[in-house]
Homo-oligomer: A and B are copies of this chain.
């Protein structure tokens, strides 16, 4: 090993991995080592640049807490999270596309009834979201569990805004026996990913903006099906084609239609005019 050169170092490192190591771990670490080394070689990385990267990771670690993960934000803004989402969505074009989970999910949101309300005292454009949860073959899935969360009119999620109740604009509901679901909410708003840490410095140095188009998050689960984590986006959002975390898919961009039906208004107790979104989810069988 003492005769290693630029040309032989990568193999020398790879050879240290034991033949008895877990085969999948071996595969992943081998890929990581090859790409790390090739990255340094192709860019002719200097020692100063390496030190800069080490300092950047130090700062990223310091900024990260259990409630604010700067490593996830780096993965999101570099497109890695979306790449992993796409890899995990392979092979079934009939299933709803997955999108990023994001850092604002909280487990155990309160239950509301199907058809219930998330608006409470939130300002914003009142919106009815409705559709059906089915299998990839179109069979409705009875009682699928929808976990829904989104931001408020000021662009903030409840867990980053002390002025909101903890569960504001978060709920779980069960679809009906025929897979149908609906709930009323407000139209979500575009917002910036957190810019006050290393990821913000990186975006700024790349000359990139930090905006995400507005979206509603869904985590949908049902016995016998894979969990679906995704987002739906108003297709007329200013940032629909410029998402800072690359989460938008054509099939997830939907119309928030202005609606004036007096019947629907009365049924859901909404003000008029309001918006209607229709979206059907299709889950993959396990």
| Interface residues in chain A, defined as those with a beta carbon under 8 Å from any beta carbon in chain B | 1-6, 9-10, 12-13, 16-22, 25-29, 31-33, 35-47, 49-50, 54, 57-58, 60-62, 64, 69, 71-72, 75, 78-88, 90, 202, 205-208, 240-243, 246, 248-250, 252-253
Contacts of A64 in B (CB 8 A): 58, 61
Contacts of A35 in B (CB 8 A): 35-36, 38-39
Are A79 and B9 in contact (CB-based, < 8 A)?
yes
* Smallest Cβ-Cβ distance to A81: which chain B residue: B50
From B22, B32, B88, A46 is in contact (CB under 8 Å) with B88
Are A29 and B253 in contact (CB-based, < 8 A)?
no
Are B21 and A207 in contact (CB-based, < 8 A)?
yes
Cα A246 to Cα B80 in complex, Å, equals: 29
Are B83 and A9 in contact (CB-based, < 8 A)?
yes
Are B27 and A84 in contact (CB-based, < 8 A)?
no
In the complex, 18 of the A-B residue pairs with CB atoms within 8 angstroms, ordered by the A residue number, are A2-B240, A2-B248, A4-B82, A6-B90, A12-B246, A17-B207, A25-B206, A32-B39, A35-B35, A40-B84, A40-B87, A45-B87, A47-B84, A50-B75, A54-B71, A57-B61, A58-B64, A61-B64
Are B54 and A1 in contact (CB-based, < 8 A)?
no
Identical subunits present: 2
Contacts of A75 in B (CB 8 A): 50, 54
Contacts of A57 in B (CB 8 A): 57, 60-61, 71
Least Cβ–Cβ distance between A252 and chain B, in angstroms:
8
Least Cβ–Cβ distance between A28 and chain B, in angstroms:
5
Are A208 and B80 in contact (CB-based, < 8 A)?
no
Cα A46 to Cα B33 in complex, Å, equals: 18
Cα A21 to Cα B75 in complex, Å, equals: 20
Least Cβ–Cβ distance between A116 and chain B, in angstroms:
30
Are A9 and B61 in contact (CB-based, < 8 A)?
no
Contacts of A10 in B (CB 8 A): 79, 83
Least Cβ–Cβ distance between A108 and chain B, in angstroms:
19
